[in-house]
Structures are given as C-alpha cells and as structure tokens.
C-alpha cells in the first residue's frame, strides 16, 4: 500500500455521496462538459485563495499571477479582475493576458529566448520586458529604436542565493534565467542611459517550496539585494518583483505553508517604502481549485493485482504520473468520485490509457470499490495540468476543460 496525497480543503460529498465541486456534483459537471476526461476549475475557490493571500500580505503588496500555471481563458479572465498583474512567458501568453482584460502596464514578460518579434510585440503593447541577459537588453533597445517607442524594461536577477527546499531551482549559480547578480548594476545604468523606461527588478529564486522559513529568508535576501542594486546603480527600481515559490501540499506528509507568517515578515522589511513590491504566484493560487475527472474503462486483474484502467492519463495530467519535476514517484490525492468519503476497501492501481508503463495515476492505493463506468477524481489539477502535459502523445483527444463558479451556476466555457 502506498499513501495518497492530501485532498485539498473545500471538497465534499452531496447527499448521494458524490464528490461535489463548487456546489455541482461530478455527474452533472460531466454532463455539462459532454464527456470525460475533463478538467474542472472552481473559480470561487480561486477567488477565495486570492482573498486569503491579500489578507495575509502587507497592504499595497501587488499580487501577480503567472499565467503558465493555468492559461485556460475563462480562468485568466476571472483572474484579471482579481489580481494586480500578470506574468507571461511567451507572446501567446501576452496576447491572452491583454485579451483577458489586464492592462499592459501590469503585465511583465519573463523567460529566456524571447524572439525579436516577441520583444516588439511587448514594446508595442507597452508591457514590461523582464530582461534575461545583456544581449536581450541590446536586442530590446534596438527593437524599440526601430519602432520609435520607449521600451518598458526591468532586469531579472539571477541571485547568488536560491530558495531552499524548492522543487525547481531557478536561481543560484549558472542559470539560463536572469542576469548574474554581479552584472546587474552596469546593465541598469545602461538601460537608464539609453533612455529606456526602467521598471525595476525581478528576483525569482525557485518554485514549489513548503518551507516557510526558507521563503521568508529568500524574500529578505531579495529585498536587501534590491536595495543594494538601487544604491549602486543610482536608479531606484519602481517595482521590485520578489517572485514567489509558494508550494502546495501534493503528497502524504506535506504540510501547507503559513502565508500569514510570510506576510508578517514581509511587512517588516517593506514597511513604508516608496518602492512598490510584488509577488508572483502560479500554483499556490490555482492548483487546488482544479480536479481532473477520468472514467474507468476496464477493471483488470494481473498476478493478483487490480488495475483500474481509465480513459485519461499522463497526456493530460503528466504531473500526477510523477514525470513532471519529481525525482521519486508518489501518489497525488485521488478518489472514487461517486463514493467520496466512503471508507477504502481495496488496494488498486489507477492507470491511464497510454501504452507506456509511465502512465500511472495512483500506485497501490487504498480506495473504495470502483467498477467500469465509475469516475476517478485526481486532485491538485488546477496548475501545470492540461497545458503542461504531452497532449499529442499517442493521438488521443485533448481533455475537456470547464470553469465553474458557485456564484453563477452556469459553466463559463
């Protein structure tokens, strides 16, 4: 037997024992969408998450959403009304952010390898480009010259420190991301001298950390580093983006981070400075609000082991299979949707329909009895799901997606 990850708060069963998401039972959600496999995103849950974060963070701290966590259009549109800015990482995401109603002045464009046409699109739109290298800075300045526009430019710093306990490190040592800390001051001076609209600093040191003390330490280091760069460059960064890295509990034994403690620590350092600060989060805001629903096609025995073979799999939800940024495969939280909250009765493995042994959704898990036609719910599917999975692998159709809100009971697709 292998333990399942923790089912996030906010999910319950209706009177018939069916999993209910945002007040809708799973059968009617599947009816609304037409079929499984299906991602359901609960926008009321996302809104509650944003509100909880705002309550925990110092007043005036900007909250930005990193679109790559979940770019589903109705979710991004709802998010545009809830947060203070978007972080995008491609021209496609830039267009999506603007179309969703986020003002270009509140969009920052990070990511290595920006094509010249992408730099031009950002400059034309008036979005801030978070520069990942000196070379990119020169290309952006040249592109702006060519367009006859003043570019909004910020510098992404590759800090000497990194976020401890982080699932994906994006700072410290040699990195494709950001400008090495020691080379930032001359670059800031160069931008100012070239007449660019200098927008500030972006310091992103890692992702998926459940170590609150490490997040606090990284934010303290980031604030101190921004002050040093300001002092040495003689240019005050109008906005310091402190990154994020807030993790969520995926696996048995994981504990949620205490955002109130992080907010309290941050309030001490950024107190009443004239500088604006932002944090940018993806998964913390949306992961728990998404559920992946997949139907059992066949119940199969092999050498005394039971396999529930589903119509979904890693082509939609790669992370749950253990193949997206994890070293050791562990079980995500899963449940039999029609018997939510029932006691576990048998040990089964839930697999997908792809012809590869990698396609596992739960290994040796204890679940209530489930049969062909029953629906399996895979939780924590709101971030890095549909668009972070190899949808074209094996030629099955893409998963359906719907966004629901408890306030407005209609599907928003």
Applying CB under 6 A, the residues found at the interface with ligand PLP are 66, 68-69, 87, 89, 110, 204, 207-208, 243-244, 280-284, 383
| CB of 199 or CB of 283, closer to ligand PLP | 283
Cα angle 243, 246, 249; round to 5: 160
| The token pair that represents 70 in the structure block | 């979940």
CB of 267: closest distance to ligand PLP in angstroms?
A: 21
| CB of 307 or CB of 324, closer to ligand PLP | 324
Measured CA to CA, the distance from residue 312 to residue 292 in angstroms comes to 9
| CB of 348 or CB of 380, closer to ligand PLP | 380
Measured CA to CA, the distance from residue 163 to residue 352 in angstroms comes to 34
| CB of 368 or CB of 385, closer to ligand PLP | 385
CB of 89: closest distance to ligand PLP in angstroms?
A: 6
Helix extents (H) in 171-258: 184-193, 212-233
- For residue 323, CA distances in Å to 102, 298, 320 come to 33, 24, 8
Under a CB-based contact definition with an 8 Å cutoff, are residues 222 and 205 in contact? yes
| The token pair that represents 34 in the structure block | 């037409």
**Closest-CB residue for ligand PLP?**
282
CB of 280: closest distance to ligand PLP in angstroms?
A: 5
| CB of 247 or CB of 368, closer to ligand PLP | 247
SS3 130: strand
| The token pair that represents 39 in the structure block | 């991602």
Measured CA to CA, the distance from residue 229 to residue 202 in angstroms comes to 12
* Residue 307 main-chain phi, psi, to 5 deg: -115, 130
Measured CA to CA, the distance from residue 98 to residue 17 in angstroms comes to 42
Shortest CA distance to 19 belongs to which of 351, 235, 353, 333?
333
CB of 405: closest distance to ligand PLP in angstroms?
A: 22
| CB of 45 or CB of 296, closer to ligand PLP | 45
CB of 284: closest distance to ligand PLP in angstroms?
A: 6
| CB of 14 or CB of 254, closer to ligand PLP | 254
CB of 140: closest distance to ligand PLP in angstroms?
A: 17
CB of 111: closest distance to ligand PLP in angstroms?
A: 7
């Amino acid at each position: 037997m292998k333990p399942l990850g923790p089912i996030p708060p906010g999910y319950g069963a209706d009177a018939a024992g069916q999993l209910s998401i945002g007040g809708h039972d799973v059968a009617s959600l599947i009816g609304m969408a037409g079929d499984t496999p299906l991602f359901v995103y609960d926008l009321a849950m996302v809104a509650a998450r944003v509100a909880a974060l705002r309550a925990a963070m110092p007043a005036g701290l900007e909250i930005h959403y990193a679109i790559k966590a979940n770019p589903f259009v109705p979710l991004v549109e709802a998010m545009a009304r809830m947060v203070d800015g978007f972080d995008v990482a491609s021209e496609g995401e830039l267009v999506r952010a603007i179309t969703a109603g986020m003002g270009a002045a509140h969009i920052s464009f990070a990511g290595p390898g920006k094509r010249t046409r992408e730099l031009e699109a950002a400059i034309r739109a008036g979005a801030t480009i978070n520069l990942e290298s000196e070379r990119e800075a020169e290309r952006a300045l040249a592109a702006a010259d060519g367009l006859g526009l003043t570019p909004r430019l910020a510098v992404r710093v590759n800090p000497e420190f990194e976020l401890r306990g982080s699932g994906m490190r994006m700072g410290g040592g040699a990195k494709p991301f950001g400008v090495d800390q020691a080379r930032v001051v001359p670059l800031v001076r160069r931008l100012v001298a070239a007449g660019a609209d200098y927008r500030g600093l972006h310091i992103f040191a890692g992702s998926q950390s459940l170590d609150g003390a490490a997040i606090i330490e990284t934010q303290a280091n980031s604030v101190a580093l921004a002050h040093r760069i300001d002092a040495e460059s003689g240019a005050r960064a109008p906005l310091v983006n402190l990154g994020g890295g807030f993790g969520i509990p995926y696996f048995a034994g994981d504990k949620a981070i205490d955002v109130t403690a992080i907010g309290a620590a941050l309030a001490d350092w950024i107190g009443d400075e004239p500088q604006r600060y932002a944090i940018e989060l993806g998964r913390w805001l949306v992961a728990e609000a998404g559920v992946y629903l997949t139907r059992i096609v066949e119940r199969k025995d092999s050498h005394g082991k039971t396999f529930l073979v589903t119509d979904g799999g890693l082509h939609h939800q790669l992370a749950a299979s253990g193949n997206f940024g994890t070293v050791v495969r562990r079980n995500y939280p899963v449940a039999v949707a029609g018997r939510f909250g029932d006691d576990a009765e048998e040990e089964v493995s839930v697999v997908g329909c792809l012809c590869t042994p990698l396609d596992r959704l739960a290994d040796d898990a204890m679940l209530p009895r489930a049969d062909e036609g029953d629906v399996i719910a895979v939780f924590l599917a709101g971030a890095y799901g549909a668009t972070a999975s190899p949808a074209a692998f094996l030629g099955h159709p893409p998963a359906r997606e719907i966004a629901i809100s408890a306030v407005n009971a209609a599907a928003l697709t």
